[in-house]
Amino acid sequence: MAVTATVPGISRLGQVRVRAHDVERAATFYQNVLGLKFLFKAPPGLAFFDCGGVRIMIDKPEKAEFDRASSILYFAVPDIHAAHAEMKQAGVRFEDDPHMIARMPDHDLWMTFFHDSEDNMMALMSEVKR
């Protein structure tokens, strides 16, 4: 596909929607467990957080077709082992322990997968310099 001048100039991801059955419970999780900066709430039952310039919208689906688990969000952390231990201590349910995914030229890519308060699969990732 050729890029033309009519293509919009997409430069970054601006917002991600995360489905929640209990917006208050999810907002508490994203603020207190993940430590994301709370931005604001809006009707009908929306909560917004900042994650490094990307806005995360927590939303209770009003229609059945929107009541699906969200895409996996990969949260970058400087020390995946410390973040994993802290979150596990807070009761977060992990699928696995931190493990190396790929060996890159100057770093190793580590990940671990967990469930948020609404059972959406999420992940921590860390690029560990060698």
DSSP count for the chain of H helices, then E strands: 2, 9
For 20, counting Cβ atoms within 10 Å of its Cβ (0-12 exposed, 13-18 middle, 19+ buried), the class is buried
* Rounded-to-integer distance, Cα 47 and Cα 26, Å: 9
> Mind listing the pLDDT tens digit for each residue in 76-90?
999 999 999 999 999
Q: Which of 16-20, 28-32, 60-64, 74-78 has the lowest mean pLDDT?
A: 60-64
Q: What is the mean pLDDT of residues 17-27?
A: 95
Instruction: Return the closest-CA partner of residue 75 out of 86, 67, 65.
Output: 86
Give the SS3 label for residue 64: helix
Global confidence as pTM: 0.82
How does pLDDT run across 58-67, given as a tens digit for each residue?
Answer: 999 888 888 8
Residue ranges and CATH numbers for the domains of the chain are 15-129 (3.10.180.10)
